[in-house]
Amino acid sequence: MIDLPPYPPLDPSNYDLIIVGTGVSESVLAAAASSSGSSVLHLDPNPFYGSHFASLSLPDLTSFLHSNSFSSPPPPSSPPLPPSNNHDFISVDLVNRSLYSSVEISSFESEILEEHSRRFNVDLCGPRVVFCADESINLMLKSGANNYVEFKSIDASFVGDSSGELRNVPDSRAAIFKDKSLTLLEKNQLMKFFKLVQSHLASSTENDDTTTVKISEEDMESPFVDFLTKMRLPPKIKSIILYAIAMLDYDQDNMETCRHLLKTKEGIDRMALYIISMGRFSNALGALIYPIYGQGELPQAFCRRAAVKGCIYVLRMPITALLLDKETGGYKGISKMKLSVFLSQRRLINKRKVARGICVIRGSVKADVSNALIVYPPKSLFPEQLTAIRVLQLGSGLAVCPADMHVLYLSTLCDNDDQGIKSLLSAMSNLIRLPDPENHQSDSVVENDTCEAKPILLWRALYVQELVKGEFGGTISSMPSPDGNLNNNEIVESALKLYEQLMGSEELFKEETSVENTTEENDDGVDIED
């Protein structure tokens, strides 16, 4: 670590709120709190914005993963504070808990990558996209953070299986019409189901209309997978709806391994997000968009918004300890001061983990498609595959990698590292040519002819990230780690919850809302490049 010059003293020295870490939820909170007039100090030990949501160059990503993993030696601890007994506060040491394990990074064409190393903006929390109707988009529009980010559409969405074939996800009327792999009857059944959901959604917004079809209360409480069966949808369609539209992780047909059996109500909500996203912006191709320059742009946009509203930013500021008041347990100094800290050390959720993989490839997994989402439903790759594997391919158009290359993000939920990594490797070998032929001797003969079409792996990172929930209450609250979801909705939700706790019922981004609405009436507000 480079010795940095000491920071100049901060002025003012008292804040309503001190936030450590610049992940999505912290940044949203910072923007919201500053907007409502609170004085906020926003710190981050890293030299970049975004914390675990950052987009980094390949070397930076490598070092960040290593320095935040269990296997690496603990970071050199700062000189211990002088014994504090003689003061009226106590010191609580903060240990930056490592999130990552089984980090394995391999480079196969180092020279080329080094040449372009600064042209990569690789997400730590991938695969992660934005639904057009996401809460984070609403918040951006409300806060004005939308002015700092541009998006592009994800061109296509596929479902994959062990055969290596990628089939389009028939997620809209036009897509169902165009789909070549569905039978006519399947088209009919799928569209019927979409219509039922749409009619149900319409009836819940205009509750006076009795003519529209509504899903019964009883069905809403039953498992979604049972409801789909009841609607006589064939297994193929069920799988598309469950894993490629509702974006579920766990095998809904296997009660033993399914950690989260989705109710119809939740399923309809998830479909609603997808359906509303499809139609939200006229210049978006589908439901999903992605920020140009990477996911790290999102927390940064909120930080910039916060800075405009007077939030003070200090990066490269490691927090080693908290000083708590002896009597109250609160902070020394101004009683109003509240502190929000990233990462609870206590609440690990059943030791759940998400295995992530990043591949830099030459070529594309599907001809003529650059930005695409691919879902492998449970059991689609191998019988023991318990959870869905999601893969996101992004191209140079999004300024995340050099031209002619693509970045591939993979993730799947897992209970242990081996299980997760195995799933990711299986998806990788399905999509790309792995450079090490020794592992695949048995396959090589069979795959020979298809091999040529598959993109070549240039660089790969595999790591397993622990899932940590946020914890609020008291004067110190903590925020969640990146979750296993495809979007930031739950992350943003927790930030809003905390905001409510801190600020009460004060309206979110009140001021900005009124300005925005009058000036940009005809604009969608969100920049989506064609």
Partner 1 sequence: MHGRPRKASKPEEEAASAAKAVKLRSLQSQFMKNHHDKIYTEEAIELSTKLLEINPEAYTAWNYRKLAVEDSLSRIDSDPNLVNSILDEELRVVESALRQNFKSYGAWHHRKWVLSKGHSSIAHELKLLDKFQRLDSRNFHAWNYRRFVVELTKRSEQDELQYTDDMINNNFSNYSAWHNRSVLLSSLLAQNADGFMPNERIPDEYDLVHSAIFTDPDDQSGWFYHLWLLDQTLNVETPLLTSSWPSHGSTIILSGAGCLNGSSSKFTTFCSESGSFPLILYFDQAVGGVSSSTVTIDSELKGNEDLVWEPISYKNSQVSCVWVTHLKYVSTDLCEYKVKIRVGNSPGIVSSRGHNFRAPYEFVFTAHVHDTVKDSQEGIVSWTDGFDIWDAKSKDLNSLITLDQLQAEIDFKWRQEAIDSEVECFGILSDSKIGKLTLARLLMAREAMVSDDAVKGVRYEEILQLYNDLMALDSSHYQYYKDEHSVAFLHKMTSSSESLSRHLFRYRGMNNLVCLRLNNLSLSRIASVEKLLFVQMLDLSHNELHSTEGLEAMQLLSCLNLSHNRIRSFSALDSLRHVKQLKVLDVSHNHIGKHSVDTTRYLCSSPLSNSEWSQDDVGRQNPGLVTKYWDAYFVLRDLNLKQLDIAGNEISGNEFSSFVLQVVPKLVWLDGQKLGN
Binding site for partner 1 (CB under 8 A): 173-174, 176-179, 184-185, 187-188, 191, 195
Please, which residues have CB within 8 angstroms of residue 53's CB and are 6 or more apart in sequence?
23, 24, 123, 124, 125, 295, 296, 298, 299, 482
In whole angstroms, the minimum distance from the beta carbon of 176 to partner 1 comes to 5
In whole angstroms, the minimum distance from the beta carbon of 212 to partner 1 comes to 14
Q: Which helix (H) or strand (E) holds 357?
A: strand 348-362
In whole angstroms, the minimum distance from the beta carbon of 2 to partner 1 comes to 55
The CA distance from 93 to 105, in Å, is 31
The CA distance from 51 to 209, in Å, is 48
- Give the type of residue at 300: Q
In whole angstroms, the minimum distance from the beta carbon of 183 to partner 1 comes to 9
* CA distances in angstroms from 478 to 88, 262, 335, 464, 473, listed in the order given: 25, 27, 19, 21, 9
Q: Can you state the angle between helices 489-503 and 24-35, rounded to 10 degrees?
A: 40
191 vs 323 by CB, closer to partner 1: 191
Please, which residues have CB within 8 angstroms of residue 14's CB and are 6 or more apart in sequence?
39, 333, 334, 337
107 vs 199 by CB, closer to partner 1: 199
179 vs 253 by CB, closer to partner 1: 179
In whole angstroms, the minimum distance from the beta carbon of 216 to partner 1 comes to 21
183 vs 450 by CB, closer to partner 1: 183
Evaluated on CA atoms 348, 247, 402, 294, the torsion sign reads negative
In whole angstroms, the minimum distance from the beta carbon of 190 to partner 1 comes to 8
81 vs 174 by CB, closer to partner 1: 174
193 vs 227 by CB, closer to partner 1: 193
In whole angstroms, the minimum distance from the beta carbon of 208 to partner 1 comes to 15
187 vs 497 by CB, closer to partner 1: 187
In whole angstroms, the minimum distance from the beta carbon of 174 to partner 1 comes to 6
189 vs 320 by CB, closer to partner 1: 189
Q: Which helix (H) or strand (E) holds 275?
A: helix 264-280
Residue 501 burial (CB count, 10 A): 12
In whole angstroms, the minimum distance from the beta carbon of 278 to partner 1 comes to 13
60: left (phi over 0), alpha (psi -120 to 50) or beta: alpha
Residue 43 burial (CB count, 10 A): 21
123 vs 186 by CB, closer to partner 1: 186
* CA distances in angstroms from 78 to 5, 74, 263, 499, 505, listed in the order given: 15, 11, 49, 32, 40
Please give the angle made by the CA atoms of 487, 489 and 494, to the nearest 5 degrees.
135
Q: Which helix (H) or strand (E) holds 409?
A: strand 405-414
- Give the type of residue at 267: G
Please, which residues have CB within 8 angstroms of residue 5's CB and are 6 or more apart in sequence?
none
In whole angstroms, the minimum distance from the beta carbon of 146 to partner 1 comes to 25
